[in-house]
């Protein structure tokens, strides 16, 4: 009996998509085809590969309404936000813009006697395992530069967003990228692990849970296949005494609740200087109470359901445990809260780091807020986490933000903003957030290997 992957729509719990998975023989055939096609792809001029990636991005941009509607059905993001094309295009375009410089050889000497240089060689076959929460943008982070660098790519998308992988493949093939060079596949966990263990891929890029990242590394153990991971987060925000209070509330609440809190770098805990604490909490609660929870296909909806009932159940459990331990929940249950995927956004005070809601990844519409005395206490609490993806500091003092940032165990430091990925900067993390280097010049370095030439002339 053929095994299938099933996408359950969070809108109403119905089956939205089903796709049969590849068996091992079919998966091996896909890998073989990708490997066979890669040398010819890498031999094409860089400018040609760049042009094809740009054309595929433009192809996807022809129907952003479809993108928004399909995302609403698959993972619950309200259509009012228009899908992901803006960030998708920004990231792909930037990587196309810098390709020639980023992939150029580093020439040490070019003289009558010697040519000494370090070139960048594509790995060969890159395996991209993409998540459901920002399914277009997270996939293109690796797909675009991997193809531009001369790799062939096999994409495995999350079950919750099966359709995104199909749409990406359709667009790239429509503009002339060979079908063997970029493939979207449906795989179960067992076949995925077996392929990695068999050295089917030359580079693995995984975005997802800590447990998933551990499974990827275990599968690759002993193969020497590089595995790049971008895993969980528990990103903090800090509001200093000199911050613009309204800007801090607006920025941090957007970071905490956009996409129903289902953001890798979403704000999950906020530390506010005690002089601003009461005012911050009052404004934050008032703003959250204005949100409209509902069907993501309704343009009046500002916060949709979580992507799956089981994700909402974990957030509810963290909230209930915190309240039982003495925390205060400030937002009354919304009418649309059904006890399932539709979950009331919540602000908690009276929280501590003994509570899971301030320690474990929530990945949902809840944020805990704590007062702090000074920068030192804020830094201690911000670092008191197994994760390290981003941290946001709201202040009028850039020098202070930089000094605080130097003390933080994180991949990115923001000042007066949060929850944004700048494609010119390296997207990376530390601790249980994993190890990787996405986008920027370093993204190309990750997707290629150095090759040295020492040529003695004559």
Q: Which residues are known catalytic residues?
A: 230, 264
Give the H/E segment covering residue 257: helix 245-257
With residues binned 3-state (H G I as helix, E B as strand, rest as coil), the percentages for the chain, rounded to 5, are 45, 20, 35
**Residue 340: exposure state from Cβ atoms within 10 A (0-12, 13-18, ≥19):** middle
Gyration radius of the chain's alpha carbons? 23
Q: Where are the beta strands (DSSP E) in 330-442?
A: 346-349, 366-372, 387-388, 390-394, 412-415, 430-431
Alpha-carbon gap, residue 156 to 74, rounded angstroms: 16
> Token pair of 379, please?
């830094």
Helix axes 162-174, 64-75, angle to 10 degrees: 160
In the chain the first and final C-alpha atoms are separated, in Å, by 66
CB of 413 closer than 8 Å to CB of 367:
no
Instruction: Please state, as a whole number, how many other Cβ atoms lie within 10 Å of the Cβ of residue 394.
Output: 28
Instruction: Please state, as a whole number, how many other Cβ atoms lie within 10 Å of the Cβ of residue 335.
Output: 10
CB of 357 closer than 8 Å to CB of 348:
yes
Name the DSSP class of 188: -
CA dihedral 37, 38, 41, 45 (to 10 degrees): -160
Give the H/E segment covering residue 272: strand 267-273
Instruction: Please state, as a whole number, how many other Cβ atoms lie within 10 Å of the Cβ of residue 164.
Output: 26
CB of 116 closer than 8 Å to CB of 454:
yes
Of the candidates 299, 213, 206, 314, the one whose C-alpha atom is nearest the C-alpha of residue 261 is 314
Of the candidates 420, 419, 356, 414, the one whose C-alpha atom is nearest the C-alpha of residue 239 is 414
121 strand-pairing partners: 449
**Residue 264: exposure state from Cβ atoms within 10 A (0-12, 13-18, ≥19):** buried
Strands 15-20 vs 4-8: parallel, antiparallel or unpaired: antiparallel
Q: Who contacts 9 (Cβ-Cβ below 8 Å, separation ≥6)?
A: 15, 16, 73, 74
């Amino acid at each position: 009996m053929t095994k299938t992957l099933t996408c359950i729509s969070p809108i109403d719990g119905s089956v939205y998509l089903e796709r049969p998975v590849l068996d091992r023989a079919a998966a091996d055939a896909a890998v073989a085809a990708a490997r066979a096609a890669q040398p010819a792809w890498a031999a094409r001029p860089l400018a040609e590969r760049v042009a094809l990636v740009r054309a595929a991005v433009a192809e996807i941009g022809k129907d952003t309404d479809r993108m928004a509607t399909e995302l609403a059905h698959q993972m619950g993001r309200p259509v009012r936000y228009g899908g992901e094309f803006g960030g998708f295009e920004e990231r792909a375009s930037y990587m196309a813009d810098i390709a020639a410089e980023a992939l150029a050889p580093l020439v040490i000497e070019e003289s009558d006697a010697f040519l000494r240089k370090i070139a960048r060689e594509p790995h060969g076959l890159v395996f991209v395992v993409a998540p459901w929460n920002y399914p277009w943008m997270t996939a293109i982070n690796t797909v675009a530069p991997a193809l531009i660098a001369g790799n062939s790519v096999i994409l495995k998308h999350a079950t919750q967003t099966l359709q995104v992988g199909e749409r990406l493949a359709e667009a790239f093939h429509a503009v002339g990228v060979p079908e063997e060079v970029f493939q979207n596949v449906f795989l179960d966990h067992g076949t995925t692990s077996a392929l990695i263990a068999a050295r089917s891929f030359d580079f693995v890029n995984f975005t997802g849970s800590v447990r998933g990242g551990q499974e990827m590394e275990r599968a690759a153990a002993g193969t020497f296949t590089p595995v790049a991971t971008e895993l969980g987060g528990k990103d903090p925000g800090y509001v200093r005494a000199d911050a613009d209070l309204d800007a801090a509330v607006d920025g941090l609440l957007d970071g905490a609740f956009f996409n129903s809190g289902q953001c890798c770098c979403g704000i999950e805990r906020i530390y506010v200087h005690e002089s601003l604490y009461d005012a911050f909490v009052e404004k934050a609660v008032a703003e959250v109470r204005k949100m409209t929870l509902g069907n993501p296909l309704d343009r009046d909806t500002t916060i949709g359901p979580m992507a799956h009932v089981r994700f909402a159940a974990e957030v509810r459990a963290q909230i209930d445990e915190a309240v039982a331990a003495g925390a205060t929940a400030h937002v009354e249950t919304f009418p649309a809260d059904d006890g399932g995927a539709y979950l009331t956004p919540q602000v908690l005070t009276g929280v501590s780091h003994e509570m899971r809601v301030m320690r474990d990844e929530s990945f949902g519409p809840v944020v805990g807020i704590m007062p702090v005395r000074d920068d030192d206490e804020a830094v201690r609490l911000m670092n008191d986490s197994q994760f390290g993806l981003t941290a946001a500091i709201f202040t009028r003092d850039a020098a202070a933000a930089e000094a605080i940032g130097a003390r933080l165990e994180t991949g990115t430091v923001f000042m007066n903003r949060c929850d944004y990925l700048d494609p010119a900067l390296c997207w990376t993390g530390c601790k249980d957030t994993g190890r990787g280097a996405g986008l920027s010049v370093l993204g190309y370095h990750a997707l290629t290997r150095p090759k040295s030439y020492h040529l003695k002339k004559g």
